[in-house]
Each structure stands twice: as C-alpha cells, then as structure tokens.
A and B are shown apart, each in its own frame.
Chain A
Amino acid sequence: NAGVMQNPRHLVRRRGQEARLRCSPMKGHSHVYWYRQLPEEGLKFMVYLQKENIIDESGMPKERFSAEFPKEGPSILRIQQVVRGDSAAYFCASSPAGGARLEQYFGPGTRLTVT
C-alpha cells in the first residue's frame, strides 16, 4: 500500500532552467495538493487539482508556475525559468474523493536548489 510518491527527491537547477516535479497520489486518491516550504517557514498552499481539472490555484505565483494532473500519470508542478527564490521544498499531498479532505497524506517532498 504505497504512500504518496514524489520524484525526484532532490533537484538542482541553474537559474533560467525549467524544473519539473512529479507527484503520484496514493492509490484510489483523485485529489492532489501542492505546498511549498521556504527555509524556516511552514508549508504554504499553492494549488489544488482533481483529475484533469485545476480547482484552486490561488496560492500559485502568477508567472512561471503551472500545474497539471492528467487523466493518466502523475501530477506535475512545472517551474519555468527558475530563480534563486524558487529554492524550497515542494510537498504534494493527496486525498480521496467525496469530501474527505481531512485525510491529506503527504509525500516526502522534493527539495529544489537553484544555483
């Protein structure tokens, strides 16, 4: 019974490159959430997706960031033209459908370092 999986666990990118972070939700979960954790901070909500739909992206920066959760395959958080300020840990959580939002299970996170 695998948990939420994220890859890569560590990602190093140079300024201006693109970063792609992947999240595979728990089996049977159709809701995915992305959070960002800056150094010495708590997690901050970024985006909430269901299969093929973005439900709420109110926490996403307006530029360079995008997210998707296709019908098949993992959810992807994409950061274009990365800058040093994007260095952070990015966590994905998943929950089942039917309003069971109390049950957000977190993945181990991807630590992005921009050099």
Chain B
Amino acid sequence: AQTVTQSQPEMSVQEAETVTLSCTYDTSESNYYLFWYKQPPSRQMILVIRQEAYKQQNATENRFSVNFQKAAKSFSLKISDSQLGDTAMYFCAFMTAYSGAGSYQLTFGKGTKLSVIP
C-alpha cells in the first residue's frame, strides 16, 4: 500500500515571499501520479497541480511549481509571491497509474496548514 507523508503540520510565510511545502511518499510502483490539493477555510478541495511520474520535467502552474525527485520519492510544492488567498490546508496525494483494484483512489497525506501573513 502507498503512503504519503507531510512532515510539516503548520507553516507561515510573509506575503509576497516564497514558501516550500514538503511531501514524501512510499510506493513500489514506477508509474504513478502525484497531486497537490488546496483546502481553504471554505473546505472545498481544489486541485493545485499534478505531476506524472514518467515526466522528468517539473510541473508548473503560474505561481505554483513542484520539485519532483523520483529516486528520493519526494514531491515538494513551491509557492512564489505568496498571497493572502493562499492561506489554506495543502494536501499531497498519490494515485497509481496501473489499472486494477484501487487504481482510482487518491491517497492523501495529513496536510500542511499554511498561513500567509500580511
């Protein structure tokens, strides 16, 4: 079974600064997908960014980028030019790329609470 670990329960960052959230995972598979989801106080789960394990290039979405280190099984999220609206819980998640039982489940970490300070 896959596991996802987020070792930083809480973090804070000054507005306009850059912050990096850590995520590590454990799997024996070679092909899979990794995600970062944002959960603001409204509790709506919002997909921030997605990475396919077979792609070497790190994914980017505007101010959000990832550092994907496959050998180290590490998948960190960098938020540049932090904004007050980035205040939220951030969850790292894993999904296998293989078909079969469990292949559509997202496995989530426990989350990191990010506070952006004005």
Contact = CB atoms under 8 A, between A and B. Distances in A.
**Are A and B a genuine interacting pair, yes or no?**
yes
Interface size class of B (residues with CB under 8 A): 20 to 34
Interface string B7-47: 00000000000000000000000000100010000111111
A101 B44 contact: no
Given A101-B95, A101-B103, A44 B108 contact: yes
Interface size class of A (residues with CB under 8 A): 20 to 34
A108 B44 contact: yes
A45 B50 contact: no
A48 interface: yes
User: Secondary structure of the A side of the interface?
Assistant: strand
A8 interface: no
Contacts of B101: 56, 58
B44 A106 contact: yes
Interface of B: 4, 33, 37, 42-47, 50, 91, 93, 95, 99, 101-111
